[in-house]
Structure formats: structure tokens, C-alpha cells
Structure 1
Amino acid sequence: MKDHRVYEVAKQSFEKWNINVDNVLEQMKKVSISIHCWQGDDIGGFEVNQQELSGGIDVTGDYPGKATTPEQLRGDLEKALSLIPGKHRVNLHAIYAETNGEVVERDEIKPEHFRNWVQWAKENELGLDFNPTLFSHPKAEEGLTLSHPNREIRKFWIDHCNASRKISEYFGKELGTPSLTNIWIPDGYKDIPSDRLTPRKRLKESLDEIFKVETEASYNLDAVESKLFGIGSEAFVVGSHEFYMNYSLANNKLCLLDTGHFHPTEKVSDKLSSMLLYHDQLALHVSRPVRWDSDHVVTLDDELREIGLEIIRNKALDRIKLGLDFFDASINRVAAWTIGTRNMLKSLLYAMLLPHEHLKQLQEDGDFTERLALMEEFKTYPFGAIWDHYCSEMGVPIQESWLHEVKQYEDEVTLKRTTV
């Protein structure tokens, strides 16, 4: 009863600004975040001939209890999802295929290798998204895939991407919600290149060849993802932001922005309004870089709040495919999912509880004093009481009480993986 009174008082604070909190909470229930599976197993996957991580990707930490089987990974995801309000999606990589002990090359993966994932998604009312895995493979050891000088290597990865798109199409058809296929490649050079144009020309030709194979748009959505640099590609990345921004616009594909793939002082939040003027849809992978693309767990920092504000104030919630991409092996992995996803949702709820039309008008009128004053005052409005009420209404723990469930799950499930 006390908590409900706190909520009612908080609600009145927002409603005096004509913000309909009930409508906001109904809108929140429709938000669907694509939660990346690879936080749960440190991007290991389940290939029979499992490779060491490569392609500029590194996972640090040795927290015990990571998932080592598909069943464990799905169980851990279920636990995290039970602590996160709303109905969401799960994002898979090709290396999470289940091949029953058979070695299946990546250019030969098929929908049947993801049948268990689809059945699980149906049981849990989840959508699925997909990514071809163009790293951690002998044919990617030189740091080049779709831009490789060797035509046979390029063809292998072209075929892998199209096999992945067919799997995504299968997801969309089976689950009744379009699946996003996101292509990211590690291609680049450690030192200053003598030729930037030729690798980019090859990448363009490879992508053109991939997208010549048609998929059903109501089942599969194609996206391409840029990067500024990586470990081993510090001087030059073939698939830069400018490359993919232009390619996606010219070819009617989604441009995916990863918040860790830019200069340390560059803000993805600032890019969204410009991109939305020219793109019908965008995709986001929300991460938290710390001095480099380190993929820390998402916190409710200034940039995350600005991302939420840009999405909501520009009425773009139905135009931006929201996903997460972080992997921290130094903390409990179920907790990492829970913290990061709840924070992404908090940023959207925070944004929904602001009087955007009034603030916009103040800017148009040149009243920058009131604009700044109100934007600062709303930072300490009782947003937390609204969030707690929303969590309670959705049947998930409020405040930090979810942590008890994670610790109990750790004691009963994940820690036992290291002692048997």
C-alpha cells in the first residue's frame, strides 16, 4: 500500500505536465529489446570444431559458471528474462547452431540447426534475430573476409551470409515476427594501408552478390554494421560508418549503429536525428565503450539517456530496431543481461516521462533559460517510483531485489557447473 501511495504521488508530478503515465506504461509494454545470447557464454558458441576468438574481439574475466551447452544458455536466458519487464527478443550468432556432433561448415548451416532455438522461442513467446559469424574461423585468420583478395574466400563468406539470411527468414516465418540479419565483418589492416579503395570495392561487390539472393521482407530484414577500428585493424576498417551509411541508403538496407564503434568522444545519440531524416528504419546495438570498443555492460549514463530521448522525442520507437551488444566475463552473466536490459528500458521510460512538445516549443521560442531549467529539474523527478510500479505491474522484481534471485540461481545452477 505504501509503495502504491508513492507511485500515485509520483504520477501526479508528471501529470501536472499533461504526461499520461498510464498511457506511457502501456507504451512501455510494447517495447521489445533484442538481447544478445553471447553474453552468456563469452561468445564461445557450440561449433564442434570451436575456434579461439579472433577478429578484434576479446572477452576478459573468468567469472565461474558460464554456459557451455545450448540448454544451459537457454536456461540462463530464461532466468534473466524473468527479471526484465516486457516481452523481448533474443539475438543469435551462427556459431550457436546445434549440429548433433556433426562438423558443419558455416557456408552450409541450415534452419534445421536452429530448430531447438525456434521451439524454445515459441514456448517463451520470443522473437529471434540473427548474425552471420565472420570471425573466429580459419578463413578469417588474415583479418579479411568479404573484402579478401582471394575470390574463393570471399565466396565462402558470401555463401555463409546467405545461409544466415535463410535461417533468419525461417525464424520470421515460424515466429510471426521479422528477424533482423545483421552483417558485421572484422576486415581491416593493423597499419596504414596503401590502398583503401580496392578493399571497399570488393566489399561492395560481395554485398551486392549477397543481396542478389532475395528473401521475404516480411520474414527477414537485412542490416549492415560499421566499425571504426578493432584489435588488429587499428589503422583501417573496410566497413566504415561512411561506407555502410551510403551502402544502406543506396540499397534499401538497415544501417546498424553500434554505440561502441565510433571515436571515444563521438555520440551515437547525436547521429540518430540526421539518420532518421534519410532512412525509414535504423538498427542499434547498444553497448558501453570505455576508452575503446570494450563492450561493457550498459549503465544508465548520460549517453544512454540521450539515446532514449532521441528515440522517444522523435517518435522513432517503431523505426529503430533496438538491440544490445556487451560481454563481460568478470561478473555474473545473468546479472549482466539483467542490468543492461533494465537500463535500456529505463532510458526509454525516462524519455517518455518528459514534456517534449513543451521543451521543443521553448527552443523554438528562444527561451533557453526555461528549457535548461526544466531539463535539469526533470532529472530528479520521481522517475524511480514509476519504474518500480511498472516492474511490479509486469510481475518482475523491483529495485535491487532481483539480485537475490540471481544469487540464488548462481548457488543452485551456475556454480555447480564448475564443480561437477
Structure 2
Amino acid sequence: MTITLKTYHLAQEQFAQFGVDTELAISMMEKIPVSIHCWQGDDVAGFEKPDTRLTGGIQATGNYPGKARNATELRADLDQALSLIPGPKRVNLHALYLESNLPVERNQIKPEHFKNWVQWAKKHQLGLDFNPSFFSHPLSEQATLSHSNDTIRQFWIDHGKACRNISAYFGQELGTPSMMNIWIPDGMKDLPVDRLAPRQRLIQSLDNMLSETLDPRYHIDAVESKLFGIGAEAYTVGSNEFYLGYAVSRNTALCLDAGHFHPTEVISDKISAVLPFVDKLLLHVSRPVRWDSDHVVLLDDETQAIASEIVRHQLFDRVHIGLDFFDASINRIAAWVIGTRNMKRALLRALLEPITQLRQLEQDGDFTGRLAWLEEQKSLPWQAVWNMYCERHNVPTDIHWLDEVRQYEKQVLALR
């Protein structure tokens, strides 16, 4: 009997004393995919042009060697990361990760420009999610869907429509709906005089962009708010209140990004606040450090709280978990592995909570007992269950995954 199996059996007995079935928790992990964002692998540059300048208030700081220079390299890097992450996964693409031998304007992109991604996803049994790219483009310098110029605004409407068709193509080909998230960088650096007109234009643009009804078996629209960005410190057109109202009134999914709110706000508390009003929720799990800095996800209190909210309320069919960070100062594959494994660890820990007992204590008004149980269960040997989960998926249980990343760095990344 292996050490992992021995320690797992001991952990299983301890959890059983708290009324927790570890096998049930592990089986539930197979029903909760995490969507891994492709843009960690190349610092959000995309493959439209080799000299694309990142704009829209987005920054990827650092210059760690070996970033992906094309889609083939990016998929190879993702292959390496995916091999070190247990359980079900998806991959999230942006429109600027298309593949074409000839330049293609964003309002002209088609499913054929992503056929290699679909073939790759089929090989790995992955779902794909999608995002229009409303940044890093000459026509996005001032605004996009809220622009006062009709021609520019229509360009971006057409881009969004093209992206919806690509997203639906993903869903049809892969048999799982693609979540397409709409985020725009529109805003102003200094105080605007007219805050209303851009928002009215944004409503009209979104309504136009989403006018075609697409089958939810293949495609789901989501809208994402933001507090501010670099160059949009004073005013953001697509604020939290704006998109919450839009999602509720238009029956779209709502995206909550962990870094898109005030420093003391957390999205874990917002999940139960918005779900009575929207049918589906998309989460961008990230780690803000003083602002929307998109640091690699840690196994910290907020990540755990997000996972606990999903599990405690059985929101597996309503909440779609995506990641959104990009750190160019460390090995990019390691960043994927660290962040995704941490999200999955948090989900497993949440599944190992004695939820029935905790809920009963709360209903009985026994807040002393609730606090005692919440704290004591933190010391239960969840790591042994995690190790068993990893072993069953044939991925490293501990820090040895880093050896494989460093070997890949020597053999592949260092040669770029």
C-alpha cells in the first residue's frame, strides 16, 4: 500500500467523524471544470501582428524568457500545464488568438480562424470559452461600443457579432456551451461632463450585438464590469451597476472579476447577492494587489470563500469558474499550474466542509458551535485527499510538478 493511500485512509476516517464523505467530495470534483485563460502564456499579446501594443488599461509586467510567439507554441505550453493539473478543465480564448496566413480585421474573423484550437480541444476533451478583444487596436484608443463615432461603434458591434458566431461554433463542435464574456475598456482619464450618453450608446450597441438569438446549448453571453483602468481612472462606462442592470434586464450572464472592485470589496459576497436576479454567473478568479493587477491566484481566504459559496449553495450548473491573471515576471507555465491547482484545491476543501452540520448549527442559532466547527474543520487533513485526487489523475501530488516545468523550460522555453 502506497504512502498516499495509507494517509488517505487515515484522512477518510477523520473526515467521517465530521460527517464528511471524502469519496463523494472527489467525485464531485469531476463535475466542476475550471476555465484556464490562454493569455497567461504570451502576456495578452495575441497573434494578429508581431508588434501588437497592449492597450485598454492592461499591463503584463516582467520579461521572463520563453513566452509563446505563436498559437502552436501556446498550445504546446498549455499541454505542459494541463498535464500537471488534475480534473476537468476548459480553455478560455480571446479573439486576438486567431490563426490566419493573411491579416484579418476583427470585424471579419470567422470560425475557420480557430479550427486548430477546436481540433486541439477535441484531442484533449476540453471545452472552449471565448472573448471579443476590444483592446490593443487602433480603433479602441478612445472608446469601442460606447464611441460617439457611428462608424467606429459599428466596427466593434460587428466584431462582437463575429465573436458570437465563433463562440457558438465552439459549442457545436465540442458539445458544451461556450461562455463568451464581453468586457470593454471604455472610460475617461479625467472627469467627464456627460456620463449618460456613452452608457446609452453602450446599451444600444450591446442590444444590436446580441440581437441574434443563439442556442444556449452552444453559446452563453456574459457582461463584465470594472471599477477603473489605467487611462480610465475617473469614469468607466461599463460599471458594476450598469452591467448588473443590463444582465438582469436582458437575461445575460453576469461576470464578476475579483480585481474589478474597490480594494475592500470581494466577489465571494456578491455571488449570493446577484444570483437571485441572474440565471448564470461567470467568475474571473484573480488576485488584485492594491488594484486590478491580476496576480497569480493563491490559496488565500478570498479564493476559499469563492469556492465555498459555490459548493455550499450547490451552484455547479449556474456558476462558471474562469481564471484571469497574467504574470510575465515568472515562468508562465508555472503560473498556470499554481493558480489553477489553487482554485481546485479551494473547491476540494469546500467540498470537504461538514456543510450539513454547519447549516444546522446556524439554523439553530448556535453561533458558538458554528464558529467552533468552522475553525476545527480547517485542521482536518484535506491535503491527503488532494494527494489522492491528484494520484488518480496521474499528476504530481506535490512540488515535484515544478521539476517537470523546469525541464520543459530547459528543453523548450530556453530555445525561443
Partner in structure 2 of residue 374 of structure 1: 373
Residues 6-42 of structure 1: CA deviation (Å, up to 9, x unaligned): 1111111111122111111111122211100000000
Partner in structure 2 of residue 63 of structure 1: 64
What amino acid does structure 1 have at the position aligned with 2:87?
G
Partner in structure 2 of residue 246 of structure 1: 245
Matches within 5 A, 1:258-269: 258-269=257-268
Partner in structure 2 of residue 130 of structure 1: 130
In the alignment, the residues of structure 1 paired with residue 316 and residue 398 of structure 2 have an alpha-carbon distance, to the nearest angstrom, of 25
Q: Which runs of 5 or more structure 1 residues have no equivalent in the other structure?
A: none
SS in 2 for 1:76: helix
In the alignment, the residues of structure 1 paired with residue 7 and residue 232 of structure 2 have an alpha-carbon distance, to the nearest angstrom, of 52
Matches within 5 A, 1:20-419: 20-48=21-49, 50-100=51-101, 102-142=102-142, 144-417=143-416
In the alignment, the residues of structure 2 paired with residue 217 and residue 314 of structure 1 have an alpha-carbon distance, to the nearest angstrom, of 23
1:49: Cα distance to partner? Answer: 6.5
- Number of residues paired by the alignment? 415
In the alignment, the residues of structure 2 paired with residue 273 and residue 87 of structure 1 have an alpha-carbon distance, to the nearest angstrom, of 25
In the alignment, the residues of structure 2 paired with residue 5 and residue 117 of structure 1 have an alpha-carbon distance, to the nearest angstrom, of 41
Q: Please tell me whether the aligned partners of residues 49 and 103 of structure 1 are also in contact (alpha carbons under 8 angstroms).
A: no
What amino acid does structure 2 have at the position aligned with 1:291?
R
In the alignment, the residues of structure 2 paired with residue 22 and residue 292 of structure 1 have an alpha-carbon distance, to the nearest angstrom, of 39
SS in 1 for 2:220: strand
In the alignment, the residues of structure 1 paired with residue 52 and residue 278 of structure 2 have an alpha-carbon distance, to the nearest angstrom, of 37
Question: Which stretch has the larger CA shift, 360-369 or 220-229?
Answer: 360-369
Query: What TM-score do you get using the length of structure 1 for normalisation?
Result: 0.97
In the alignment, the residues of structure 1 paired with residue 155 and residue 51 of structure 2 have an alpha-carbon distance, to the nearest angstrom, of 18
Q: Which runs of 5 or more structure 2 residues have no equivalent in the other structure?
A: none
Q: Percent identity?
A: 58
In the alignment, the residues of structure 1 paired with residue 133 and residue 3 of structure 2 have an alpha-carbon distance, to the nearest angstrom, of 50
In the alignment, the residues of structure 2 paired with residue 286 and residue 258 of structure 1 have an alpha-carbon distance, to the nearest angstrom, of 6
1:87: Cα distance to partner? Answer: 2.4
Taking only aligned residues, the RMSD between alpha carbons, in angstroms, comes to 0.9
In the alignment, the residues of structure 2 paired with residue 360 and residue 110 of structure 1 have an alpha-carbon distance, to the nearest angstrom, of 49
Q: Please tell me whether the aligned partners of residues 223 and 253 of structure 1 are also in contact (alpha carbons under 8 angstroms).
A: yes
Question: Which stretch has the larger CA shift, 50-59 or 161-170?
Answer: 50-59
1:50: Cα distance to partner? Answer: 4.5
In the alignment, the residues of structure 1 paired with residue 168 and residue 51 of structure 2 have an alpha-carbon distance, to the nearest angstrom, of 26
In the alignment, the residues of structure 2 paired with residue 116 and residue 141 of structure 1 have an alpha-carbon distance, to the nearest angstrom, of 30
In the alignment, the residues of structure 2 paired with residue 198 and residue 166 of structure 1 have an alpha-carbon distance, to the nearest angstrom, of 29
In the alignment, the residues of structure 1 paired with residue 30 and residue 51 of structure 2 have an alpha-carbon distance, to the nearest angstrom, of 39
Residues 137-195 of structure 1: CA deviation (Å, up to 9, x unaligned): 000112x1100111111100000000000000111111111111111000001112211
In the alignment, the residues of structure 1 paired with residue 104 and residue 189 of structure 2 have an alpha-carbon distance, to the nearest angstrom, of 31
